[in-house]
Amino acid sequence: MSDKLGTTGLILNEPLLWDRGKPGRCGFSMPTDDVPFNPLGEEWTRNDLDWPDLSEVDVVRHYTRLSTWNVSVDAGMYPLGSCTMKYNPKTNERQAGLSGLAEAHPLLPAPLCQGALKMMADLESDLAEITGMDAVSLQPAAGAHGELAGMLIIHACLEHRGERRSKIIIPDTAHGTNPASAALCGYQPVPVKSGPDGILSPEAVRAVMDRDTAGIMITNPNTLGLFEENIKEISEIVHFMGGLVYADGANFNAVMGVVNMGCAGADVMHLNLHKTFSTPHGGGGPGSGPVCVQKHLEPFLPVPRIVLQNGSYGLSEDFPQSIGRLVTFYGHFSVMVRAFSYIRSLGPEGLARASQLAVLNANYIRERLKPYYHLAYDRFCMHECVFSDKKQQVHKIATLDIAKRLMDYGYHPPTIYFPLVVPGALMIEPTETESKDDIDQFVDALIAIAKEAADNPEWLHEAPRTPKMRRMDEVEAARRPCLAG
Ligand SMILES: *Cc1c(COP(=O)(O)O)cnc(C)c1O
């Protein structure tokens, strides 16, 4: 079978549209033009636009074939740690597609979009209840954007108190966006090491917390998939020195309906609606990272805010201490609709059950794979578990080989080489939506790979063998990226 023939199984190769076109092909028929030809100008003629001539079927097949190259949660398990690639119930898509919501123009005056505004206000209060915080803004367009909003809020609060602080404490188990968001806001990140049990100790925080430190950014559950059990004591240490506590709640699907982050001491946190609350993501599509705050930070939330006055909803800019506007309109509305639909269809018990299943699934994988792969922190985990290639290294097999080989078994590889605190990390997040059968199949594939690593390491070095593209030259790609296509 030749590569040029274009098939690996029935996955078709696809040339560029420019290679596919033939002069004279056309996607539509029009009556003959009876208007005299009148060119726009000599330097701009149709021939200068290098567009291919294509028929309708050329175009439809081109994009349909490209779409089959996408790996998706609808096609199979996608255990990408820290990303929560779970199945998103189709009913939420359906609600987001309702014409009254999908076609609502962002410039509609408030009296004409009361339903949309009420839904947003209700979603804000649902999220406040779920997190244990007092007020929410749905504006931030992604998780990292929510972090930036949170940092700006902390900065505004300190400024209001007449204080200028220059540092933020960030544990080594925080998500990589945390130090970036703090730095964008002008803070200097102060790294703190997690303890031998994979979580942060109050002593480590006490050692660095001072009156020039604005606070701490703590990812909980952290990137090792472990719950930061000392968060309350850590919050007290930070608060005692006048600092604020930022909780990164992007991975809230581990603790929804179980943990109250407000009681745990968080002053401000964000959620990732596109992870936890049912919006398909991964293709760089729209996200939503609501920022949730305690009462004392409410005046600093971004504007406009949704307000209820005399029985009708509106958007108000009348919050003088606000950090200002973060997005053009009011964030990504369709993501909010999906989240609202998800929350209301599951209800409080359903949300808690989803989290329990996410944790159960990850722990099941952890227990089953423990004899075959080195477990970086051998203790009860939350929604994800982190292995490493330590056991396979004796056969000269690295995490990359294991991840590539998984593709031959039909799985999107887990997150690899992250978090950085675990060398050769393999970070697996099954999510709550996988059945035991599907998880067993996935675990069996990883066990088979562990056996191959011992028996036939050369074979693994050449994986993947079945996908359209074989192993990439990652060094070349990193050193000399081809950005022009
Ligand atoms: C995904 C994630 C983020 C960043 O979210 P984006 O929407 O990709 O910006 C931040 N923190 C944690 C813990 C995450 O898992």
pLDDT in tens, 243-283: 999 999 999 999 999 999 999 999 999 999 999 999 988 77
Candidate from 218, 248, 269, 272 with most ligand 1 atoms within 8 A of CB, to mutate: 272
Ligand 1 midpoint to CA 110 (Å): 32
Say how far apart CA 361 and CA 81 lie, in whole Å: 13
Q: Lowest mean pLDDT: which of 35-39, 62-66, 395-399?
A: 35-39
**Cα separation, 16 vs 27, whole angstroms:** 17
Q: Give me the residue spans of the domains in the chain.
A: 91-345, 356-476
What's the pLDDT at 43?
Answer: 59
Written as six digits, the tokens of 133 are 């915080």
pLDDT at 1: 34
91-345 CATH pick, 3.40.50.2300, 3.40.640.10, 3.30.1180.10, 3.60.15.10: 3.40.640.10
Q: Which CATH number fits domain 356-476: 3.90.1150.10, 3.30.230.70, 1.10.1240.10, 3.10.20.590?
A: 3.90.1150.10
Whether the per-residue pLDDT at 115 is higher than 70: the answer is yes
Q: What is the pTM of this model?
A: 0.90
> Is residue 42 very low, low, confident or very high in pLDDT (cuts 50, 70, 90)?
low
Q: Is 222 in the pocket of ligand 1 (CB under 6 A)?
A: no
Q: Is 144 touching ligand 1 by the criterion CB < 6 Å? A: yes
Report angle CA 12, 17, 18 to the nearest 5 degrees: 130
pLDDT band at 412 (very low <50, low <70, confident <90, very high): very high
Asked if the peptide bond before residue 457 counts as cis, ω within 30 degrees of 0, the response is no
- List, in sequence order, every residue forming a beta bridge with 387; answer none if it has no partner: 375, 426
* Residue 5 pLDDT grade (very low, low, confident, very high; cuts 50, 70, 90): very low
The residue whose CA is least distant from atom 15 of ligand 1 is 82
Binding site membership of 248 for ligand 1 (Cβ less than 6 Å): yes
Determine the average pLDDT of the residues in 22-38. Answer: 85
Could you tell me the distance, in angstroms and rounded to a whole number, from the CA of residue 178 to the centre of ligand 1? 9
Q: Whose CA is nearest to atom 14 of ligand 1?
A: 250
Q: Give me the pLDDT at residue 45, please.
A: 56
Q: Which positions ≥6 away from 394 have C-beta within 8 Å?
A: none
pLDDT > 70? residue 21:
yes
- CB distance 429 to ligand 1 below 6 Å: no
pLDDT surpasses 80 at 46:
no
Whether the per-residue pLDDT at 355 is higher than 90: the answer is: yes
Nearest-CA neighbor of 234 among 215, 251, 260, 259?
Answer: 215
Q: What pLDDT does residue 41 have?
A: 62
Q: Given this model, what pLDDT does residue 53 score?
A: 93
Question: Percentage of the chain with pLDDT > 70?
Answer: 95
Report which of residues 190 and 459 the model is more confident about: 190
What pLDDT score does 75 carry? 87
So what's the pLDDT on residue 67? 87
Q: Is the pLDDT of residue 12 over 90?
A: no
pLDDT digits (tens, 9 = 90+) for 420-449: 999 999 999 999 999 999 999 999 999 999
User: pLDDT (tens digit, 9 = 90+) per residue, 301-325?
Assistant: 999 999 999 999 999 999 999 999 9
The predicted structure's pLDDT at residue 469: 81
Work out which ligand 1 atom sits closest to the CA atom of 174: 13
Amino acid 8: pLDDT: 55
**Residue 144 pLDDT greater than 90, yes or no:** yes
Q: What is the pLDDT of the chain when averaged over all its residues?
A: 93
Which residue puts its alpha carbon closest to atom 2 of ligand 1? 250
Give, in order, the Cα–Cα distances in Å from 324 to each of 172, 250, 319, 328, 363. 31, 23, 9, 11, 43
* Of 4-13, 177-186, 424-433, the least confident: 4-13
* Cβ(388) – ligand 1 distance below 6 Å: no
Residue 176 CA to ligand 1 centre (angstroms) = 8
Task: Give residue 458 CA to ligand 1 midpoint distance, Å.
Answer: 36
Q: What's the pLDDT at 2?
A: 38
Query: Is residue 294 lining ligand 1, measured as CB closer than 6 Å?
Result: no
The atom of ligand 1 lying closest to the CA of 223 is 13
| Residues pairing with 136 in the sheet | 292
Considering only CA atoms, which residue is closest to atom 4 of ligand 1? Answer: 143
Q: Which atom of ligand 1 is nearest to the CA of 142?
A: 7
Distance 145 CA to ligand 1 centre (A): 9
Q: Is the shortest distance between the CB of 272 and ligand 1 below 6 Å?
A: yes
Residues 427/418, Cβ–Cβ less than 8 Å: yes
With a 6 Å cutoff on the Cβ, whether 142 touches ligand 1 is yes
Does the beta carbon of 338 sit less than 6 angstroms from any atom of ligand 1?
no
